[in-house]
């Protein structure tokens, strides 16, 4: 476990000439990361379910005069192998490279006891929060291997580190995601151009937080933009050689 890099200052050209895919880029942490990565020179690929939200982020990037973003909508809950391969093939055809993935998309349907969660709900939580990051990374691996310096970031949860009542399938999926990250880091140990780490965002004013803690006072909470030093460090070249670690914000 490593502490948040609050003092890290990313140079303006940190991500120059890099291509980075962000899942769940239409709102919250995904939107903030997409803007931060674009501001630091990256060409960003915006993934999400709702095209309208992705278009809004696309327009924000256009408004600050940065590299034109790409949009790839996909419902991860219903995605299969071929859908992830289509994304990878489109990236290869249109951009010719991929230097990073931020797995930020998440599904959280609310808190409830395990005996209230259905098989369908449990399956959906595992599909979006665990299987999709595995499948998308696998589909994009040939592109990542061709990058001189590629970084993959998983978004974990404090409830994966310390499971508690009512978090059910979400906590199980995030715990599995942490294990997946460590296995992948171990398998990439002899490939110095590849690395993978996890971020635990902690308490932050996000759409997901509204679902689980609707009564909180939002003015007292951190905003997604406050966490971007860690997100920039892990996706950029300054974290080269750092792999298999979990960063707590």
Model confidence at 1, pLDDT cuts 50, 70, 90, reads low
> Taking all residues of the chain, what is their mean pLDDT, rounded to a whole number?
91
User: Measured between alpha carbons, how far is 227 from 87 in angstroms, rounded to an integer?
Assistant: 28
Q: What is the domain partition of the chain in residue ranges?
A: 2-248
* pLDDT, tens only, 128-170: 999 999 999 999 999 999 999 999 999 998 887 888 888 888 9
DSSP letter at 5 equals -
* pLDDT, tens only, 126-135: 999 999 999 9
* pTM passes above 0.75: yes
pLDDT of residue 217: 52
User: Measured between alpha carbons, how far is 206 from 183 in angstroms, rounded to an integer?
Assistant: 29
Task: Give CA angle at 208 (71, 42), nearest 5°.
Answer: 35
Q: CATH classification of 2-248, choosing from 3.40.50.720, 1.20.120.80, 3.90.550.10, 3.40.50.10090?
A: 3.40.50.720
């Amino acid at each position: 476990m490593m502490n948040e890099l609050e003092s890290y200052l990313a140079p303006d050209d940190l991500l120059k000439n890099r291509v980075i895919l962000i899942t769940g880029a239409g709102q919250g942490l995904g939107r903030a990361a997409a803007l931060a990565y674009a501001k630091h020179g990256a060409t960003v690929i915006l993934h999400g379910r709702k095209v309208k939200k992705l278009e809004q982020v696309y327009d924000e990037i256009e408004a600050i005069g940065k590299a034109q973003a790409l949009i790839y909508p996909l419902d991860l809950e219903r995605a299969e192998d071929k859908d992830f391969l289509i994304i990878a093939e489109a990236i290869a055809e249109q951009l010719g490279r991929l230097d990073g993935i931020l797995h930020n998309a998440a599904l959280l349907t609310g808190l409830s006891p395990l005996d209230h969660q259905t098989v369908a709900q449990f399956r959906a939580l595992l599909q979006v929060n665990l299987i999709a990051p595995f499948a998308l990374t696998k589909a994009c691996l040939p592109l990542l291997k061709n990058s001189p310096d590629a970084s993959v970031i998983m978004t974990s949860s404090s409830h994966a580190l310390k499971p508690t009542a009512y978090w059910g399938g979400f906590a199980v999926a995030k715990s599995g995601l942490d294990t997946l990250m460590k296995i992948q880091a171990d398998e990439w140990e002899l490939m110095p151009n590849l690395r993978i780490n996890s971020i635990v965002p902690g308490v932050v004013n996000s759409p997901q937080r509204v679902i689980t803690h609707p009564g909180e006072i939002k003015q007292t909470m951190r905003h997604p933009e406050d966490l971007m030093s860690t997100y920039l460090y892990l996706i950029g070249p300054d974290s080269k050689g750092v792999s298999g670690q979990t960063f707590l914000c």
